[in-house]
Amino acid sequence: MVKVVAGNWKMHHGPLQTAGFFDRFRPEVEEGSVRIAFFPPDVSLRSSRTCARVQADFGVQNIHWERAGAFTGEISAEMAKEAGASLVLVGHSERRHVFGETDVDVGCKVRAAARAGLVPVVCVGELLEERKAGKLDAVLRRQVAAFAGSLADCRDYMVAYEPVWAIGTGETATPEDASAAHAIVRSALGALGRCPVLYGGSVNPANARALMSAPDVDGVLVGGASLDPEVFARIVEAGGALAGAV
């Protein structure tokens, strides 16, 4: 299966920096053997789509579940679609833990993505104390249960396993840990589990290949290391080297 390599820029790279990013990224990547995706800030979506000139999908980092209304600072799934997004991150750990997004919110957002025809990349993952307390299985199953019903209405979707303790910390799950967590996610999804399941959490060019080679790991969601075009290109290259590998 072709690996997915997705970059979550978080609140980095405005429209001008975005153009500069792609000027340096384009010559570094060989297209075709990896499914590349970018999640720029909303204000850089247009610049990303016009400046990229590489084969990639583009998405937004968050949506509201309503179509429109008095929700200052929010955008709807329909607006994201109209602006050219095909993907949306839902339930990223920073949305859950910095902005207080709940499992119920995540379910509503997946439903909104389905309604608008966006492909949700739904993020799940445990806190360090939950892992240490032996609650990995229960936490992942609870998180998946909150949105699985809405996935059935999506024409396409992905799930990203991102242990909270590994995001932006330099700590990475071992390939074995990632595989084990992905197997739980797939089991919790049941019949809906035949989708790409990505790993995220301090992925870099040195660990990307081993993580993407692990059973059940279909690609990576990359934060910090996606901001530098040459570094991100090396991660794309790692995924490309696995294309066709059994």
**Binding region for ligand PEP (CB under 6 A):** 8, 10, 162, 167-168, 200-203, 221-225
Residues 6+ apart with CB under 8 A from 163: 125, 126, 128, 131, 173, 177, 181, 201
| Shortest-Cβ-distance residue relative to ligand PEP | 223
Task: Give the burial class of 110: count Cβ atoms within 10 A of its Cβ; 0-12 exposed, 13-18 middle, 19 or more buried.
Answer: buried
Nearer to ligand PEP, 49 or 96 (CB): 96
Q: How far is the CB of 164 from ligand PEP (least distance, A)?
A: 10
Task: Tell me the CA distances in angstroms from 140 to 90, 103, 186, 211, 237, one per residue in order.
Answer: 15, 11, 10, 19, 30
Would you please indicate which residues are annotated as catalytic (active-site) residues? 92, 162
Place of tokens 């993505």: 113
Q: How far is the CB of 98 from ligand PEP (least distance, A)?
A: 12
Nearer to ligand PEP, 51 or 166 (CB): 166
Nearer to ligand PEP, 189 or 222 (CB): 222
CB 88 within 8 Å of CB 118: yes
d(CA 118, CA 166): 27
Q: How far is the CB of 200 from ligand PEP (least distance, A)?
A: 3
Q: How far is the CB of 205 from ligand PEP (least distance, A)?
A: 12
The two three-digit tokens of residue 194, written as one number: 């035949």
Nearer to ligand PEP, 115 or 210 (CB): 210
